[in-house]
Amino acid sequence: MKKTTSTKDLLISSAGELFADNGYEGVSTRMIADMAGVKLSAIHYHFGSKEKLYTEACLSAHRRSQSTIFADVIAENPVLAQTSEGQAEIIRTTVFRTFHYHFRPDRPEWEAKILLRELASPTSAMTTLIEILFRPNSESSANFYRHINPEATEAEAAAWSDLLYGQILLYSMAKNTIKMLRGEDSLNTEFFHTAATKLARSMILEAGLPLPNDLHHDLQ
């Protein structure tokens, strides 16, 4: 039996698409209700306000991306963090999962678009997003780097973390320009696998860790 989409989920998806295309100020609650095919009162019942619905759409876009952070991989197999080989595997796994989830072909376009819009022009929702999404991600990366290199400064740990998220932002924000430059099919699954391989290798070597065998073989 096909699962029926709840009114709340339908509102989030409809609002997400509209906000992604038009920005927060360019969308009214009437527009959202009409697109979702529900009564206007449903927005106030489920979310209370347009602002709260916008914040929930951003949070939902992040949750649906199934994004992985270093702490997630460590929690799955804590023993990996105890050796340099295991630490390298944590980096490799985190990078590959992050690329896969962010750039998987079936991901609705609005999910990345609404978060990119918010990053470029923060609204009042950003305070919530920082606390729930961005700070935990940043701290997880920085803490892991300092676990590997206890003498690292805060700036060094942050810059290392930015290697991953900076690459994700580049391919997300410059997607259309890259396609114009390299061809419409340039950002395909094979390319993102290659990009993840290059990035994982760079982050592992920069952290002073030994390369996993498969990444080492790619150098030859």
pLDDT at 216: 74
At residue 213, does pLDDT exceed 90? no
Instruction: Confirm whether pTM is higher than 0.85.
Output: yes
- Region 102-130: what's the mean pLDDT? 93
Higher pLDDT, 39 or 5: 39
- Domains identified in the chain and CATH numbers: 7-59 (1.10.10.60), 66-217 (1.10.357)
Structure-token pair, residue 178: 């890259």
pLDDT-derived band at 217, boundaries 50, 70, 90: low
Q: Which long-range contacts (CB under 8 A, 24 or more apart) does 93-97 make?
A: 93/68, 94/68, 94/69, 94/70, 94/164, 95/164, 95/196, 95/199, 95/200, 95/203, 96/193, 96/196, 96/200, 97/68, 97/73
* Mean pLDDT (the chain, rounded): 92
